[in-house]
């Protein structure tokens, strides 16, 4: 059995019964179950329809996400999450760069790296070089004034943890930020790069080893083995090219508001919903949220 889930942006809450019923009828699905009024609904299917991606494309213009997956094992026992533009709405290095006056230059490099056009390690080294001499105090300022959480993150962490899941934050960003995000949202552990700091200023040189795509894969393998979890029991979420390794290993790899080249390589693509979409696709209704 399979489950088709339709999800709207919670701010719009414009998922209507007519759309859900029309798709259910066209696909000869089972009874519709509403997970959140106007936001998410699901129905069972015997098979994955051949026109799945054509329908997905047509729903994009209406502002709806569509996910089709196996019904068995939907609820995951581990969440492995990227941080920048996933659990938070910013790219931390871009925010540091903006304060340093090189924001446009660094943002352009970040965008190309996340789209897979540049080698992640080389791009990180180049961007850090532009931050050399920036006062360490800027980190706290960016956290206090510029970092905002992706909507739904608190619900996602609280609900998965309340149901026994382990949650790890694995970022190509920096521990100076993952520590704050991890503690605030309730992650069980976090891994990221270390910002080189000497005499109260950023050195502009990466501290080795650099945590990129392969390190995220390694984290996936190490943590799942430590917890004795099958890959199918893991949900991973990210938006950039350096997330693809872990997204493709996970039982549910979610491309969240991802770069098109990244989303195209993932079975689960959330373009309109927020982080609560990761609960809906596991079968949690809004009344189940912790």
CATH number where 164 lies: 3.40.50.1000
Q: State how many domains the chain has.
A: 2
DSSP track, 4-57: EEEEE-TTT----HHHHHHHHHHTT----EEEETTTEEEEEESS--TTHHHHHH
Q: How confident is the model at residue 175 (pLDDT cuts 50, 70, 90)?
A: very high
Give the mean pLDDT of 262-278.
97
Q: Give the pLDDT score at 4.
A: 98
Q: Give the pLDDT score at 226.
A: 98
Q: What is the mean pLDDT of the chain?
A: 95
Alpha carbon dihedral 93, 177, 145, 10, in 10-degree steps, equals: 90
Choosing from 9, 65, 82, 243, the catalytic residue is 82
- Tell me whether residue 82 is one of the annotated catalytic residues: yes
pTM: 0.94
Give the mean pLDDT of 187-195.
96
Residue 253 near residue 246, CB atoms below 8 Å: yes
- Say yes or no: 192 and 59 in one domain: no
- Say yes or no: 5 and 125 in one domain: no
- Say yes or no: 142 and 58 in one domain: no
- Say yes or no: 1 and 110 in one domain: no
Residue 278 scores a pLDDT above 90 = yes
Residue 177 scores a pLDDT above 90 = yes
- Tell me whether residue 9 is one of the annotated catalytic residues: no
The 10s digit of each residue's pLDDT in 227-256 is 999 999 999 999 999 999 999 999 999 999
If DSSP codes are grouped into helix, strand and coil, which group holds residue 118?
Answer: coil
- Say yes or no: 20 and 148 in one domain: no
- Say yes or no: 156 and 61 in one domain: no
If DSSP codes are grouped into helix, strand and coil, which group holds residue 176?
Answer: helix
The 10s digit of each residue's pLDDT in 85-130 is 999 999 999 999 998 888 898 888 888 887 878 888 888 888 999 9
Choosing from 9, 16, 65, 84, the catalytic residue is 84
Tokens of 173: 């960003």
Q: Is-cis flag, bond preceding 209, omega within 30?
A: yes
Domain containing 147 equals 75-290
């Amino acid at each position: 059995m399979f489950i088709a889930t339709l999800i709207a942006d919670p701010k719009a809450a414009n998922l209507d019964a007519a759309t859900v019923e029309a798709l259910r009828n066209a696909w000869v699905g089972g009874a519709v179950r509403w997970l959140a009024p106007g936001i998410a609904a699901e129905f069972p299917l015997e098979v994955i329809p051949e026109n799945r991606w054509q329908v997905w494309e047509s729903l994009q213009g209406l502002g709806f996400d569509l996910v089709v997956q196996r019904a068995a094992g939907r609820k995951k026992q581990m969440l492995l999450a990227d941080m920048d533009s996933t659990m938070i709405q910013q790219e931390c290095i871009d925010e540091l760069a903006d304060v340093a006056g090189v924001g446009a230059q660094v943002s352009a490099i970040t965008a190309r790296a996340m789209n897979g056009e540049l080698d992640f390690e080389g791009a990180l080294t180049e961007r850090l070089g532009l931050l050399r001499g920036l006062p360490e105090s800027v980190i706290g300022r960016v956290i206090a004034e510029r970092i905002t959480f992706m909507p739904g993150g608190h619900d996602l962490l609280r609900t998965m943890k309340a149901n026994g899941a382990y949650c790890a934050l694995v970022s190509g960003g920096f521990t100076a930020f993952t520590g704050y995000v991890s503690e605030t949202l309730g992650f069980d552990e976090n891994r990221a790069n270390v910002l080189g700091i000497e005499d109260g200023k950023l050195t502009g040189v990466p501290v080795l080893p650099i945590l990129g795509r392969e390190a995220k894969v390694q984290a996936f393998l190490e943590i799942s083995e430590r917890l004795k979890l099958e890959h199918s029991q893991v949900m991973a979420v990210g938006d950039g090219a350096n997330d693809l390794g872990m997204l493709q290993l996970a039982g549910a790899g979610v491309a969240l508001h991802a770069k098109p080249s990244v989303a195209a390589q993932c079975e689960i693509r959330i373009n309109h919903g927020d982080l609560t979409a990761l609960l809906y696709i596991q079968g949690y209704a809004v009344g189940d949220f912790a």
